């Protein structure tokens, strides 16, 4: 089944400039901005500018240029946040929620980059 992209989702509206965002990085194919409800001192969302619902959709349908740009942007945001372990940072976690079980709230691909505090183990058994 093909993905249907909702043009009215909040990140599409951010990309159209209809609502503001706190930009950390913008490249040809990618935008990174601060999450409005941060879960840690550093909490940035990285999104492709193209209409992709989630990571597997992006993997299937995006061009090589978009994919390289996106992945490089993720690394650059880590550098800008100062969280890269190889450069003296304390580390970070990347999360990309998808669909019902992944508890995805906004249906436009985004990865969360979270850092600035100890994050605990990746998953608990709750609820
Ligand atoms: P997810 O549950 O992975 O879909 O996460 C969606 C994220 O988007 C949540 O962490 C929200 O706090 C965040 N969010 C929702 N609206 C905005 C917005 N206008 N600007 C920045 N972050 C937002």
Ligand 1 geometric centre to CA of 102 (Å): 14
The per-residue pLDDT for range 71-101, each reduced to its tens digit, is: 999 999 999 999 999 999 999 999 999 999 9
Q: Is the CB of 101 under 6 A from ligand 1?
A: no
Ligand 1 centre and the CA of 64: distance in Å?
A: 26
Q: Which two tokens stand for residue 75?
A: 């690394």
CATH code at position 34: 3.30.428.10
Q: pTM score, two decimals?
A: 0.97
| Residue 86: domain span | 10-115
Find out whether the beta carbon of 98 lies less than 6 Å from any atom of ligand 1: no
Coil, helix or strand for 115? strand
**Is residue 120 a part of any domain in this protein?**
no
* Residue 31 belongs to some domain of the structure: yes
DSSP strand pairing (42-48 vs 111-115): antiparallel
pLDDT tens digits for 101-123?
A: 999 999 999 999 999 999 999 88
Helix (H) or strand (E) holding 110: none
pLDDT band at 127 (very low <50, low <70, confident <90, very high): low
Q: Tell me how many domains the chain contains.
A: 1
């Amino acid at each position: 089944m093909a993905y249907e992209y909702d043009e009215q989702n909040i990140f599409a509206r951010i990309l159209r400039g209809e609502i503001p965002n706190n930009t950390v990085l913008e490249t040809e194919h990618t935008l990174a901005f601060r999450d409005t409800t941060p879960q840690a001192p550093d909490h940035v969302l990285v999104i492709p500018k193209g209409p992709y619902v989630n990571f597997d959709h992006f993997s299937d349908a995006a061009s090589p240029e978009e994919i390289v740009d996106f992945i490089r942007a993720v690394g650059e945001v880590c550098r800008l946040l100062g969280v890269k372990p190889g450069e003296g940072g304390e580390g970070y976690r990347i999360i990309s929620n998808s669909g019902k079980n992944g508890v995805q709230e906004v249906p436009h691909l985004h990865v969360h980059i979270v850092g600035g505090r100890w994050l605990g183990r990746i998953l608990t058994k709750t609820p």
